[in-house]
Structure 1
């Protein structure tokens, strides 16, 4: 099985008006994405923010579940959050994966927007079934990844299409759907 990495970017992302912003890190994102990463055999979850105070918050959360009171209280949470890594930005994430894997990862941006050539869930699932270049699935907070990020990607994953035509899932919900489609047992 191919190596899959997950990155949650808090910058650069769009706000609802289309401005490029930096979003806040939430405790729920770190916990829930860590649990998803553990469930779907993701090699590492990167939480990337350029804001020093938010990085300290993530460090505190991770430390609580690694060596603090949380480690004894909930061993499964400790196991899931052991996959979490803190980073400043996408470049640092890529460099860390390259150091670990010995090769640059293939960058896969996510979006809720239609348009352009999109990598299907089925194709990514096929790629992950075989050994090869590591895949980095990039998730954006706020109103999604900027064109700067999607333009750097080797692929842009197709959007999740529900049945109502409404398409604005939380990043945690979108990550769960995506990981189940590309790594689930069906």
Structure 2
């Protein structure tokens, strides 16, 4: 069921270049651009996950400005896009929220630019999404990617975008847009 697709951008736990676990900084683009993409593809909710209270407070101020402040009148399209935006401290909170909304735990999709074995193709996952009764949560990482412990809890491990390219370093915003287009495309879905 294509009307039960959720997206989460993970800022914690994230890998640092040396393999250690860190929290990454939220950017304005993480809020606006991914919200707009998710709204365009009728994603039910877009969650940004950050365990840092100061980061969450900044995000909440930005969202409030565009949904309730001057920005809501200045750019109603941005307000519409941000209506699906949510912020949570941890991935577990996101899973719990979706389970509360849908009455069932979501199937979770891991994404990464790194080549891996036993991945599902875009075409295969697109068919799963179209047929599934369960909600689907697609995870995107920041920094140097999500750690293995997140991959281990996922139901699907999606193939990388341009895995065979000699250069594969898209921004997460571009990766979200390409992924959603490949999985959902032009099909219209209506949130109920």
TM range (shorter): over 0.9
Match of residue 109 from structure 2: 108
Structure 1 residues 13-28: aligned runs within 5 Å = 13-28=14-29
Residues in 1 aligned to 2:167 and 2:54: alpha-carbon distance in whole angstroms: 34
Stretches of 4+ aligned residues off by more than 4 angstroms = none
**Over the residues paired in the alignment, what is the CA RMSD in angstroms?**
1.3
With over 3 angstroms needed to count, the CA separation of the structure-2 counterparts of 1:153 and 1:164, relative to structure 1, is closer
Q: Deviations over 1:24-75 (max 9, x none)?
A: 0111111000001111110000011000000101111111111011100000
Match of residue 99 from structure 2: 98
Contact 2:115 2:163 in 1 (8 A): no
- The alpha carbon displacement at 1:128 in A equals 1.9
Match of residue 169 from structure 1: 170
> What is the DSSP-based 3-state SS (H/G/I as helix, E as strand, rest coil) of the residue aligned with 2:119?
coil
Residues in 2 aligned to 1:59 and 1:146: alpha-carbon distance in whole angstroms: 26
Match of residue 32 from structure 2: 31
Match of residue 84 from structure 1: 85
Match of residue 186 from structure 2: 185
Residues in 2 aligned to 1:164 and 1:156: alpha-carbon distance in whole angstroms: 19
Residues in 1 aligned to 2:157 and 2:164: alpha-carbon distance in whole angstroms: 22
Residues in 1 aligned to 2:71 and 2:132: alpha-carbon distance in whole angstroms: 35
With over 3 angstroms needed to count, the CA separation of the structure-2 counterparts of 1:112 and 1:164, relative to structure 1, is closer
> What is the DSSP-based 3-state SS (H/G/I as helix, E as strand, rest coil) of the residue aligned with 1:144?
coil
